[in-house]
Homo-oligomer: A and B are copies of this chain.
Amino acid sequence: MRPLIHPPIEDITVEGILHALSDPVRVAIYAELAGATCTSICSNFLQVSDRSIPKSTLSQHFRALREAGLVHSERRGVEMHNTSRCMEIEQRFPGLLPAILSAHNVQSADRARAIKRKQAAARKLGS
């Protein structure tokens, strides 16, 4: 088992962060981690936004987040405990992560609203 790679803060790039967060599963995971007050284990994310993720894929997603510098991971027994490195990144790129998370929230809210509207329309047609 190869060791976990956590880039030092000065090696973290904007491009790397944007690429890592340009995947819907990874932003969703990152948003959860950034909002959490304690560590989360990988298997908490086998279901993400109503989609189930194969565990090999999930493992790669965590690796991507880790190697982009977004999360810190630590093996504890059989589990992997993850936290967001948001404080550090906020120091280096102030405002970047909050802006991305807020945009992600806007988008989620818009989507939820669109789905509700669609369901209401379907009910109306059905009745």
B14 A104 Cβ-Cβ under 8 A = yes
Provide the bound-state CA to CA distance between A24 and B17, in Å: 12
Cβ-closest chain B residue relative to A104: B14
* Identical chains bound together, number: 2
Residue A96 CB within 8 A of the other chain? yes
Residue A4 CB within 8 A of the other chain? no
Contact of A100 among B27, B96, B106 (CB under 8 A): B96
- Interface size bracket, A side: 20 to 34
Could you tell me the distance in whole angstroms from the C-beta of A15 to the nearest C-beta in chain B?
A: 5
Interface string of A1-42 (1 = CB under 8 A from B): 000000000100111111101111001000000000000000
CB neighbors of B among A85-127 (8 A): 92-96, 98-100, 102-104, 106-107, 110
B102 A94 Cβ-Cβ under 8 A = yes
A22 and B27 contact, Cβ closer than 8 Å, known pairs A94-B102, A96-B99 = no
Task: List the interface of chain A (C-beta within 8 A of B).
Answer: 10, 13-19, 21-24, 27, 92-96, 98-100, 102-104, 106-107, 110
| Given A15-B27, A18-B21, 9 new contacts (CB under 8 A) | A10-B110, A14-B27, A15-B23, A17-B103, A19-B22, A92-B106, A93-B103, A94-B102, A98-B99
